[in-house]
Amino acid sequence: MYYMNIYSATDKHIHQAQKLLAKGELVAFPTETIYGLWANALLPNAVKKIFTTKKRPMDNPLISHLGKKSQITTYAYIDNDVQKLLIKKFMPGPFTLLVRPKDMIPREITAGQPLMSVRIPDNAICKKLLSWCNFPVAAPSANLSTRPSPTTAEMVHENFKDNIPMILDGGESQVGIESTVVRASEKKVEILRPGFITKEDIQEIVGKNISVVYTNKGKKMSPGTRYKHYAPKGKVIAFKTIKDIQTIIKKNKTYWLIATNEFIARHIKKLKDYGLTLYQRWTKNNLATCAKNLFQLYHQCDKDKQEIILIEALPEKWLGYAIMNRVKKSLTK
């Protein structure tokens, strides 16, 4: 399908995107995690457009994206060797670090909090645009607030239609869930938002003398931690066993099942007896595929107007912890 504001990621269009950002306009752009809604982070009025366009609460901070590591100290302070190590090992990539901002960073970026979020994306199209910008780019996910994050240009358009001037098409996002957000001191690394870079990945890098923990402390400083997020329009219910499904199923309702190959193979007869005829298979041995597909599955549920979505809970370790974080944020309570 053709959309007026979706553009192929040619050099010409990337230059056009840079000019729009420099003037204070919004652009939707691919990263390796999800598509972001970008604005010039040094222009307060441009940053405010993000909040109004997304219908995002003004106290929910934004991540500032840069093209290379050397730019971080232009806009923020690096306070300890652990921060330096994390930057060296995980940037560019799906990793965000909380650091102290310098005075030129508008308070709209941090939502009035003392720390700012900084990330260097690992996506060729994204890197090219950032290399042509002489400013950091603020970018949350390119979706309406509370809705599933977009992993294709078409999903962005479903959210905003023609209300933003440009959507750059970089194909499907490779990671599919947002970056890991951490705060680091000399003795501890705190994960405020889990993501593709896992607790175990970080622990391996920093060594046994530095603790790595999931935390809710300081969650106001990180995006994606306090409000309902990532939710499709239908009712989302998580389950662990076939007995859980049995207690949920009611007559005259339609159910969309997201479950692992193993679960479906083990219970295929009962699932048919329950009238669950539409299955989406997750692959438990490949959590990266589960992460990449989650928001696309939610988006498909919306397109098909699915009333109730049953989703199998994955083991909460390694990447499974981040996937279940997104699922729990989307649950209907």
pLDDT tens by residue, 47-75: 999 999 999 988 889 999 999 999 999 99
How would DSSP label each residue in 139-157? --BSS-TTSPPPSSHHHHH
Tell me phi and psi for residue 219, to 5 degrees: -65, -20
| CA 97/CA 319 separation, integer angstroms | 18
Asked if omega into 94 is within 30° of 0 (cis), the reply is no
Confidence of residue 220 (pLDDT cuts 50, 70, 90): confident
Residues 156-205 pLDDT 10s: 999 999 899 999 999 999 898 899 999 999 999 999 999 999 999 999 99
Choose from 81-85, 221-225, 280-284, 305-309 the range with maximum mean pLDDT: 81-85
- Burial class (CB within 10 angstroms; exposed 0-12, middle 13-18, buried 19+) of 333: exposed
Q: 6-221 has which CATH code?
A: 3.90.870.10
CATH 3.40.50.11030 domain residues, the chain: 235-330
- Report in angstroms the alpha-carbon separations of 224 from 75, 146, 322: 23, 10, 12
| CA 283/CA 115 separation, integer angstroms | 37
- The architecture that CATH gives domain 235-330 is 3-Layer(aba) Sandwich (3.40)
pLDDT for position 329:
83
Residues 77-112 pLDDT 10s: 999 999 999 999 999 999 999 999 999 999 999 999
Tell me which DSSP letter residue 316 carries: S
Tell me phi and psi for residue 212, to 5 degrees: -120, 120
pLDDT for position 186:
93
Sequence letter at residue 199: K
pLDDT for position 278:
61
Nearest to 194 by CA among 238, 225, 227: 225
Q: What is the mean pLDDT of residues 211-221?
A: 82
The runs of H, that is alpha helices, within 1-123 are 11-22, 44-54, 72-75, 81-90, 107-110
| CA 128/CA 306 separation, integer angstroms | 39
Worst-scoring range by mean pLDDT, 17-21, 167-171, 220-224, 248-252?
220-224
Q: With contact defined as beta carbons under 8 Å apart, do 27 and 38 qualify?
A: yes
Q: With contact defined as beta carbons under 8 Å apart, do 281 and 257 qualify?
A: no
pLDDT for position 317:
86
Tell me which DSSP letter residue 55 carries: T
Residues 274-289 pLDDT 10s: 776 566 666 666 788 8
Residue 291 has pLDDT above 70, yes or no: yes
| CA 197/CA 167 separation, integer angstroms | 27
Question: How, if at all, do strands 116-119 and 180-184 pair?
Answer: unpaired
Residue 302 has pLDDT above 90, yes or no: no
pLDDT for position 227:
59
Residues 137-151 pLDDT 10s: 999 999 998 888 899
| CA 279/CA 259 separation, integer angstroms | 7
Which residue reads 């501890």 in tokens?
188
pLDDT for position 2:
54
CATH 3.90.870.10 domain residues, the chain: 6-221
Higher pLDDT pick, 127 / 233: 127
- The contacts of residue 47 (CB under 8 Å, 6+ apart) are 39, 40, 41, 62, 106, 108, 109, 138
Residues 12-47 pLDDT 10s: 999 999 999 999 999 999 999 999 999 999 999 999
Q: How wide is the angle at C-alpha 46 spanned by C-alphas 107 and 296, nearest 5°? A: 100
